[in-house]
Structure 1
Amino acid sequence: MKFLHFIKITIRLCTLLCVFSLSCLATPFLDNQSSTNKKLKDVKSEISNAQSALNDVLKKRTRLENQLKESDIAISSITQKIQENTNNKKIIQNKLTELEKNKSTLITSKALQEKLLAKQLRAAYSAGHHDYIKLLLNQKNPATIQRTITHYQYVNNARIKEIENFKKTIDELILVEEKHKKQSIALDTITNELAINKKSLEQNKEKRTSTLTLIKKEQLTKQQQLDKLISEEKSLKDTLNKLELLAKASKNLDGLAKLKRKLKWPVSGRITHNFGTQKHGYIKWKGVLIKATLGKQIKSIYNGKVLFSDWLKGYGLVTIIDHGKGYMSLYGYNQTLLKKVGDYVEQGEPIALAGQSGGQSQPGLYFEIRHAGQAQNPKLWCR
């Protein structure tokens, strides 16, 4: 009985101790839970703020990249105008040089004709003012009279011919002077246009430099940079897939299969990035990057048809040429595109001018060769 009573008392004490212990533990547990909830709320707030900041950065980068695109396209357009005006200026200068020569020849001819006419007039004056009636009244030998009349007629005809030639020379000289004046005005107009174009070009270059500086300030993490490259590569691949469908309609193009190591590079220069080398993370170069002087001519590696001629994110101003049989060549980072979609080009024909569009800091050419959509090593074709 005592033992059972002791057991009961012991159980009751243990129960009281347990209740007391639980009541003591409950307070810190509740405090910890409250603290954890607060921390969780703070973390969620930080994540939300970080996500909002990232979205702002991405929006700003997108806006800046659009500005970059506008600057690249503006620079391309102005550069093309400058090239056209420069060529027109050379043509006009050549015409002016030719007109100057013609003018000089005509002036010399005019001076000689004036001397000859003056000599003839003096000779006619010295011979006297004989006419047919006076010659007949002189009662000379008829044969002599006939010879004199014939001589006068010959001299008179020669004088009339020289006068006509002189008049023709004067008319030609007036026409040449008018042409010269028009060409001089045209030259002044083109010279003024060139000055405006060059000023506009410098302004757009400055704008582009400022945009690039702002883009660089918006630093991306390695993962974001990788995502950006993946997105750009996907955009290029999607574009090429669409162009493949158009390429199937091209005829009379025999491809590049038989031309391995027989083609010339589109531009001369040192290759700074080789095909297959690491670009960023696991992304590799699908083509080669060739260092080139700004404005240097980029030439088609082979005959083909232009399928794409526009600005492409990450690659700047791009020309893509279909060579037939599933072969394409791509030329990126250009300053100016010289060909439009649908143009047929010959091997070695200029298609663009080297540049640094698409956000590049140094001028050069990004060059790819693809077959059935798969990137090929350009070194297997070009030497």
Structure 2
Amino acid sequence: MTSNSTSSFIEDFVHSLANHIIVEKDSPYEGIDTCLQEEPWCVTCHKRPESGLLCCSRCHTAWYCNSSCQKAHYKSGHREICLSVARDLKRVEEEIIPLRNTPFGDDPVPHNIFETEIGMFSEGPEAHRYMVARRELVESYFQAAFDVEIKEVWEKALYHALVQLREALSDPRGMIYVTPFILLYLNRDDDAFDFVQYWVNLKYIRGNESMMEIMNRHVQSKEGDFFYPRKTNSRFLDLSEQCPEADDQDVFLVFLVTILFIKLRLVAAYDATCQSLYVAFGETTGGRHIQEVRLAVTEMLIDESLVNIDSQRQQVERLVNAIDRNNPSMLPALLNPLPLLTQSRPPPDIRGDPSEAFDIVNYCNRCFSRIPGALKMLEERYGPNPTYNTTMRYGYD
């Protein structure tokens, strides 16, 4: 077979490959949530009319093709979300005003803390009300984005989460519980990995940075910036190798769950691609050159040196074991969340307690359920509808 005919054969193969239905939604899984809408659409009928869309004038988180669709969505549950976003946004704006001219901490002289105290907001009671208001706004935007699954709304939630993370060196109002999953819903797995690695370094080993360098990162960034150090293709890295001094038992549960989801996405995407190759080659003729073409196409579709699938599978197993060891309620709750989530939302959680899993399950359950093979993997370990400890302690014994 000449080089030209081989090239033509590969082109024909890739074309046939694209027409095969391998996993849900008529296309091979690529490690992303395909339900994310890059551009707004009518959240009721899922159309994008040429005449354009109407945006909800109160909350700016939902779009409609006509007033009938808007009324239907409003009655179906948007009313509560809409009012919540508008209320919380107004409250944040109101709480900002006095902080532009206030004493702070040990400094009795009034000043604008948005210019002088970036990174220190959690150190003084003056900013407490504002921090609570901003946190509640993030929650409202999260619920709005969860409802419509439009990129622009998820980015609003991320913007306000990053604003608050910038304003406090220590975790402000539990932002580390929600931010990684916002990034995953946005299909920003590299950023989610980088976020986790930063916090593991900061909280457990301090990395190689001085506090001055860390503070400068906050001060020199702009509101809403993703100011954490980035690495290209970091989602393929092994967190234990990047943070060798951090013990799994000491790493926050939310970080372990985030990395597990990233790895599950990688494994699922790899398996879907391999299945696509299997099906396509099973229906393709190529005589004695078929293995040559298979190898060429595999190299085109999968960078084995980057993926290192054996390592990814090992990381999944290690993370599942670590999560189960640190909090036995976490993974069963992903399979059977209602016994946990139907309880009242607990106060600040206790490590290893079901309360620690409550917000994580609430934020990430949809993300988990959309990863091919993830449900089956946990069902093989726990059964399809597992029981688990849901008794939450509301204080230290």
TM-score range, shorter chain: under 0.3
Report which of the two has the higher share of strand.
1
Quick check: which has more Rg, 1 or 2? 1
